[in-house]
Amino acid sequence: MVKEQIIRFFKKVLIVILLIYLVDFVLGFILDYGFKKQKAGKFAKIEYLLHYANEDLLLIGSSRTDKNYDSRVFEQELGLSSYNGGIPGQGIIFLDAITSSILERYQPEIIIFNLDPNILIKSNYNYDRLSELLPFYNDSKYIKQVVQLKSPFEKYKAISKLYRLNSQPINIIKNVLKSELQYKGYRPFYEQLSPEFVAIEGLNPFEPIIEEILINPTIDSVCINSFEHLLQNFNNKKTRLFIVLSPEFMKRDYSINKSYNIAIAIVRKYNLPVIDCSILPDFIGHYELFRDYDHLNYAGAEKFSKIVCEKIKQIRDK
């Protein structure tokens, strides 16, 4: 009697598994087709970087790259075709996987990497956001390796197409139907940081903030490895890498930032050029150039991009 019940139960389980497979295959196929047809959004950017980018100059980094670097300025000033490959909300583990995948396909003349001073601080956020690589799971061996860092079960979950395209349906519909205003990957902010917003928080941009958490944070060895791996990529390749620090609205003292100090020591080890714009007085406290504390607006990005181009020219001419 119990045996019959068990057999009946497992028959139902088998049917459900088959149905899930069917739904996953059909719906996953449709969504995947739409996903690859997106004309806007960060996933369209990643798709472009991994499969189609062939520009002479690539800008790599997180949201600060996305918003602070005007690719048109780089084209005009340096005479190189350029693409802004900034992916908002991402850390070094993600960026290393993307950059390594790009370099495996083609080698641009220059890559500019925007260095976030807190890049090596341990945070679950770095791992949670790796899920944005899931739609590209089968596109590169680097991406496959990195996604495993999210959880040891990720490779099993990634069997499901629907899981890989988690939370994508509305994005797909939106980004297939509508193309956003962007200039070769650069997606500017047009708003301006309001003095009232800063006043509410009781901050003075000219007084450096001492953030205790940055003095002795937990440093993530995985982030260090990823950063080293990213830099090692350029050892035997013809691509030249420039490390750039974006301007800050708030005056900051990076010398007490442990993550920054380790990152800079690694950069020095590989003898790579660093363009530090974080302390430029032309930017600190200039509301008209920022959208928020960390991101420049349209005007700020244009000004900053010109400064970076000048510095690159100077380094190249040496």
Binding residues vs another protein (CB under 8 A): 2, 5-6, 8-9, 12, 15-16, 19-20, 22-24, 27, 89, 128, 131, 151, 153, 157, 160, 162-163, 165-171, 174, 197, 200-201
When the beta carbons of 41 and 108 are compared against another protein, the nearer one is 41
Q: CB-wise, 47 or 55, nearer to another protein?
A: 47
- What token pair was written down for 5? 């019940």
- Closer by beta carbon to another protein, 153 or else 235: 153
Minimum CB separation from another protein for residue 292, in Å? 9
Give residue for tokens 């601080």: 121
Residue among 88, 87, 85 nearest 112 (CA): 85
Give the nearer residue to another protein in terms of CB position, either 129 or 258.
Answer: 129
User: Can you read off the two tokens belonging to residue 6?
Assistant: 């068990």
For the CB of residue 62, give the shortest distance to another protein in the complex, in Å: 13
Q: How far is the CB of 2 from another protein (least distance, A)?
A: 5
Residues 6+ apart with CB under 8 A from 84: 59, 65, 66, 69, 70, 71, 183, 184, 185, 186, 187
Cβ of residue 27: shortest distance to another protein, in angstroms? 7
Minimal distance, residue 168 CB to another protein, in Å: 8
Tell the smallest beta-carbon distance from residue 143 to another protein (Å).
18
Q: Which is nearer to another protein, 104 or 211 (CB)?
A: 211
Asked whether the beta carbons of 45 and 67 are under 8 A apart, the reply is no
Question: How far does Cα 88 stand from its chain's mean position?
Answer: 5
Nearer to another protein, 121 or 165 (CB): 165
Concatenating the DSSP letter of every residue in 210-257 gives --HHHHSPPBPHHHHHHHHHHHHTTTSSS-EEEEEE---SS---GGG-
Residue placing its CB nearer to another protein in the complex, 52 or 156: 156
Can you tell me the distance from the alpha carbon of 208 to that of 257, in angstroms, rounded to the nearest whole number?
A: 13
**Which distant-in-sequence residues (6+ apart) come within 8 Å of 151 by Cβ?**
157
In this structure, the number of other CB atoms found within 10 A of the CB of residue 15 comes to 10
CB of 267 to another protein, least distance (A): 29
- Report which secondary-structure segment, H or E, holds 244: strand 240-245
For tokens 């976030």, name the residue: 116
